[in-house]
Amino acid sequence: MKILLTGANGYIGQRLLPLLVEAGHHVTCLVRDARRFELPESLRSRITVAEGDLLKPDSLADLPLDIDAAYYLVHSMSGHDKDFFRLEQESARNFTQYLNRTGCRQVIYLSGIANDRALSVHLRSRKAVEKVLRKATHAQLTVLRASIIIGSGSASFEIIRDLVEKLPVMVTPRWLNSRCQPIGIRDVMHYLTHVLDNPACLGQSFDIGGPDVLTYREMLLELAAARGLKRYIITVPVLTPRLSSWWLYLVTSTTFSLAQSLVESLRNDTVADPRRSIAEAVPHACMPYRAAVELAFQRIEQNEVVSSWSDALSSGVMPRNYMDHIQIPQHGLLTDRQTLRFTRPPREVLQNVWSIGGERGWYKVDWLWRIRGLLDKLVGGVGLRRGRRSPTDLRAGDPLDFWRVLVADRAGRRLLLYAEMKLPGEAWLQFRILPNEDGSYTLEQLAAFRPHGLLGRLYWYSLVPFHFIIFKGMIENIVHYGETRPLPAPRPETAESGVLPR
């Protein structure tokens, strides 16, 4: 079949795409910016990448018309502006207007279980989008409504994991007694692929969930037991939704807007309605919650995390066009440039560069980086807790603590990061390995900052003493990591220049 996949670079889309290709389908991936959508060589011959923004109908004019089915995986757990509800429906309407020009026979929409009466704004928005998709297109709609999705990198799993691993004693709000029906990401993928072109699923809505109905409290304790941890949970009635959101935001890796959305939604029970069971249309035995948790940790330990909730731009404060920053500006910059010659194999140093951040840390005075991350959290930034998708691999678009990867060019031995932290300006951090004529190599480490006004300059110069400690030691440790031979000291250059030092 010819399939259009929206949300192709999201948490679900990145996992669904290879399954569709392996099944023999040709997939057109709709993305806002193709530059941050990297494809494995093995998939490229079966995939077409199309750029378009569902809030801009004109950008959809060149999408293919000869599609058989479409997946609608577009929604935001972080939208909290006053127009969020309207924009979600506008996006769906623009999508259906495009579909009505095609030969599309089926639309598959992944939604949320919404069986309570007093729903959160996000669950109400899911139902409203479902209504738009059902009424505004000739294609038959198949809706899969899920509760908490458990898998390596999923927002729900990572938040539960953060709480359990960091807090021996938790003082929690009453919503921890709400009930849900968690489902493993592997089971979600099974349903998404098996409802495709399935006559029994056309025009139908299904609630999907695992075999366990648990409170969120029970989920926390079950994950703790799986990790061999003893945890104590005290539930109090005095935490308001806003206080609960701040509590989640400060303790876990989530953003405040995502925490706010989750707290609102967690007040609702999300248990599957047996009248909407998918068992007859797609017979399948879902794994229990404990098995889904153990599988998620297995994938993390084996460095096989395919996608993460933090891959989405909504996990930080990046503009949608952030890939426009892949070239560091040449003027108006404050810079700190360090270089260090070395003779060890360049692949070893490059791997040290590729392993920066996350569990490995930043190679020098990690406690200062942690303080900076905490300060960023306190002013509404992303902090350090997002970590990284993989401890050894990077690709364009990946989050890396409070940076975002712009360029991860192994062949060209270049890594470029763009700051996603709260700053009075814009910041880049670049690493390059350059060959020398005598057969040695040089690691170049460049920190560049474009200040916004006087405050930006005061910020930079106030940190210059720390830069001397951090950046000098950082480049030395990147080169020396795994090797004990002493090597020449780096040559620092700090400047405000009209032309970027090379």
CA 410 to chain CA centroid, Å, is 22
Mean pLDDT computed over every residue of the chain: 84
Token pair 């300060």 is found at 375
> Between residues 386 and 346, which one has the greater pLDDT?
346
Distance CA 119, CA 264 (A): 9
Query: What is the pairing mode between strands 214-215 and 106-112?
Result: unpaired
pLDDT band at 323 (very low <50, low <70, confident <90, very high): very low
Buried-state track 295-326, b at ≥16 Cβ within 10 A, e below 16: bbeebbeeeebbbbbbbbbbbbbbeeebbebe
Q: What are phi and psi of 419, to 5 degrees?
A: -70, 130
What confidence tens digit (pLDDT) does each residue in 146-172 have?
Answer: 998 998 878 788 888 888 888 888 887
Q: What is the mean pLDDT of residues 410-437?
A: 91
Is 72 in contact with 137 (CB distance < 8 Å)?
no
Residue 500: band (very low, low, confident or very high) from pLDDT cuts 50, 70, 90: very low
Q: How far apart are CA 109 and CA 306, in angstroms?
A: 21
Beta-carbon count within 10 A of 50 CB:
17
pLDDT in the model for residue 308: 58
Q: What is the pLDDT of residues 61-83, one digit of tens each?
A: 889 999 999 999 987 655 445 57
Beta bridge partners of 323: none
- At 82 the pLDDT is 55
Residue 448: phi and psi, rounded to 5, are -125, 140
- For residue 492, is pLDDT > 60? no
- Report how far residue 480's alpha carbon sits from residue 9's, in angstroms, rounded to the nearest whole number: 36
Q: What is the pLDDT of residues 349-398, one digit of tens each?
A: 999 999 999 889 999 998 888 888 888 888 877 777 777 888 888 888 88
* Strand-pair category, 399-400 with 403-409: antiparallel
pLDDT higher at 327 or 334:
334
**Sequence-ordered alpha helix ranges (H) in 212-354:** 216-226, 241-251, 256-266, 289-301, 346-354
pTM, whole model, 2 decimals?
0.73
* Predicted local confidence at residue 340, as pLDDT: 95
pLDDT of 10 reads 84
| Helix/strand number for the chain, H first, E second | 12, 20
Confidence of residue 306 (pLDDT cuts 50, 70, 90): low
The pair of three-digit structure tokens given for residue 398, joined into one six-digit string:
């990946």
Note the pLDDT tens digit of each residue in 49-63. Answer: 998 889 898 999 889
DSSP H/E element including 106: strand 106-112
| Cα dihedral value 139, 140, 146, 151, nearest 10 | -60
E strand or H helix at 338: strand 333-342
Given this model, what pLDDT does residue 104 score?
94
